[in-house]
Amino acid sequence: MAKKKPLILVSNDDGITSRGIKTLVEVMCELGDVIVVAPDSPQSGMGHAITVGNTLRLDRSTIFEGLDAYECSGTPADCVKLAKHYVLKDNSPDLVVSGINHGSNSSISVLYSGTMSAAIEGAIEGFPAIGFSLCDYSLQADFSHTKEYVKKITQQVLEFGLPKDIALNVNIPAKSSEKIKGIKICRQAHAKWQEVFDQRKDPNGRRYFWMAGNFVNHDKGEDTDEWALANNYVSIVPCMYDLTAHHALSTLNQWNI
């Protein structure tokens, strides 16, 4: 008897027409049966936003020939929710994958990332989940070298599973003349964005702001995602949605309240 193929749900935040999701779908089709539910337009930086007080639209898409695919007007988290409760109904996926994001989602960026929020929403729903990102913001970014690592990591998760409530944040260095050295299991680096708000005026003379800034890494550890990427390794950080600062509970319990 042939072994049943795993059911894999694919989403992203760059939109259903992006090159990254095309690459991800190609790899996932080698590993299982694929269903795509992705935003109908770019949703980068949306974090774990969900649509409340507004309509959500979900339409079939023919962009992936031969696949069951849908485009959604909502956020990446909306896409996973709609996939579970409407598209798949009682047929739960064996894996949720998101990406491949066009740009890094290492360190603090995981909080802002729509790509990782789709993966974390999968973990919230009880499914093994992975978010993949390519650390290249160029319009001509080459995704071809990511396939090897996406496939290898996905195969490991399908075979061995993941701890409960965990989603993997996988970042892959940009393609270069130097071969990627390997894969590192890492912790999230202590780093942040230092924002700069450029004040400008529109053609009507009204003030607006354009946000820019620099990424600053305060972490000198050699076990972080930033160190791994800087040294040409693929980084994997296990992430959880429980944001409780457990180490602070004993301190707060001393308050006279």
**Per-residue pLDDT reduced to its tens digit, 73-102:** 999 999 999 999 999 988 999 999 999 999
Instruction: State the DSSP code for 189.
Output: P
Which residues 6+ apart lie within 8 Å of 70 measured at CB? 36, 37, 38, 58, 59, 60, 61, 82, 83, 87
- Six token digits for residue 3: 């072994």
- pLDDT tens readout for residues 203-219: 999 999 999 888 899 99
User: What ranges do the domains of the chain cover?
Assistant: 7-189+221-252
Partners of 36 in the beta sheet? 10, 69
Q: What is the mean pLDDT of residues 168-175?
A: 97
Instruction: List alpha helices for 144-255, DSSP H.
Output: 146-160, 225-230, 249-252
Instruction: State the DSSP code for 84.
Output: I
pLDDT at residue 90 in the model? 80
pLDDT at residue 212 in the model? 87
CB 125 within 8 A of CB 94: no
Q: How many Å apart are CA 200 and CA 235, to the nearest integer?
A: 38
DSSP string for 121-165 = HHHHTT--EEEEEEE---TT---TTHHHHHHHHHHHHHHH---TT
Residue 1 pLDDT exceeds 60: no
Q: Domain 7-189+221-252: which topology?
A: Stationary-phase Survival Protein Sure Homolog; Chain: A, (3.40.1210)
Task: Answer yes or no: is 12 a known binding residue.
Answer: no
- Residue 132 identity (one-letter amino acid): F
Q: Could you tell me which of 215, 216, 144 has the C-alpha nearest to residue 180?
A: 144
Task: Answer yes or no: is 59 a known binding residue.
Answer: no
Q: Could you tell me which of 28, 27, 26, 24 has the C-alpha nearest to residue 15?
A: 24
Q: How many Å apart are CA 244 and CA 19, to the nearest integer?
A: 36
Residue 2 pLDDT exceeds 60: no
| CB atoms closer than 10 angstroms to residue 215 | 14
Task: Answer yes or no: is 235 a known binding residue.
Answer: no
Share of the chain above pLDDT 90, in %: 91
- pLDDT tens readout for residues 228-251: 999 999 999 999 999 999 999 999
Predicted model pTM? 0.94
Which residues 6+ apart lie within 8 Å of 140 measured at CB? none
Helix, strand counts (H, E) of the chain: 7, 11
pLDDT at residue 4 in the model? 86
Task: Answer yes or no: is 44 a known binding residue.
Answer: yes
- pLDDT tens readout for residues 17-64: 999 999 999 999 999 999 999 999 999 889 999 999 999 999 999 999
| CB atoms closer than 10 angstroms to residue 220 | 10
